[in-house]
Amino acid sequence: MSTFSAAAWARNAGLYETIRNMPFNTELAAGTLSEERFKHYITQDAHYLIGFGKGLAIAAAKAPDPERMVQLANSAQGAIVVERALHGTFFADYGIAPEVFEASPLSPACHHYVSFITATAWSEPYEVLLAALLPCFWIYAEVGNDILARAASPNPYAAWIETYAGEEFQDAVKTMIATTDEAVAEAAPAVRAKAHDAFDRAVQLEWMFWDSAYRLETWPV
């Protein structure tokens, strides 16, 4: 049987192609993405990263051995470090005041994604939780590399691109893939099937997150 990650990626290869060609990512690479759309994105992403960090911290608590605990706890910290960077430099550069951020609601797509992660974190076993968190790493590593390869230079979004195409993030992703494969390899078939469902759902939610930023999504009522 192939590794979980190879099977999961193969199931989502078509959707990954769709994601990398989304207007948000194409325009970000070209440097033509509107500031309004990028601001919507980083505001929602700051909200998202707090939920993502919480999911990773719960995964750390569920980990079967101290090595994995430390790794996942470090990733939880990493998510908050990126969130702080958004809050610091990015919010300052784009004129997003802290109180404006505090008062901003999660968009429907962000709310859905964070709710999915926290529900999975509290209700599902370790293997399924890792599978739900893996696309957040893996899709960004692939999209980051893909955008870097075709990015216009200079690009107003260079700092964002470097975060995800950078070696530190790329290494964290490789470790997360290995950790997920190791966990799912020992899981019962029913758990492996749930892990696939969680991975597929997270890839869909990644698409929805970028799409919602592009549409400047708000609550309809």
Ligand X SMILES: Cc1ncc(CO)c(N)n1
| Residues labelled as active-site residues | 136, 206
- Distance spanning both ends of the chain, measured CA to CA: 47
Instruction: Provide the angle, in degrees to the nearest 10, between the axes of the packed helices 126-150 and 167-185.
Output: 150
| Token pair 């509290």 in the structure block, residue | 122
Q: How far is the CB of 48 from ligand X (least distance, A)?
A: 5
On whether the CB atoms of residues 174 and 138 are closer than 8 A, the answer is no
Residue whose CB is less far from ligand X, 5 or 192 = 5
Residue whose CB is less far from ligand X, 24 or 209 = 209
Number of neighbouring beta carbons within 10 Å of residue 52: 25
Which of 140, 158, 172, 208: binder of ligand X (CB under 6 A)?
140
Residue whose CB is less far from ligand X, 146 or 192 = 146
Query: In this structure, what token pair is assigned to residue 154?
Result: 């200079």
State yes or no: residue 209 binds ligand X (CB under 6 A). yes
On whether the CB atoms of residues 80 and 49 are closer than 8 A, the answer is yes
Site string for ligand X, 161-200 (x = CB under 6 A): ----------------------------------------
State yes or no: residue 49 binds ligand X (CB under 6 A). yes
For residue 199, give the amino acid letter: F
Give the largest CA-CA distance in the chain. Answer: 51
With CB atoms as reference, the residue minimizing the distance to ligand X is 136
Which of 43, 45, 107, 194: binder of ligand X (CB under 6 A)?
45
Peptide bond into 154 cis (omega under 30): yes
Residue whose CB is less far from ligand X, 155 or 212 = 212
Under DSSP, is residue 221 helix (H, G, I), strand (E, B) or coil? coil
On whether the CB atoms of residues 55 and 124 are closer than 8 A, the answer is no
Q: How far is the CB of 197 from ligand X (least distance, A)?
A: 18
Residue 86: C-alpha distances to residues 15, 98, 207 (Å): 27, 11, 21
What length is written for the chain? 221
Q: How far is the CB of 182 from ligand X (least distance, A)?
A: 21
State yes or no: residue 48 binds ligand X (CB under 6 A). yes
Site string for ligand X, 99-138 (x = CB under 6 A): -------------------------------------x--
**Which of the stretches 45-53, 116-124, 145-153, 178-186 binds ligand X when contact is defined by CB under 6 A?**
45-53
Where does this chain bind ligand X (CB under 6 A)?
Answer: 45, 48-49, 136, 140, 206, 209
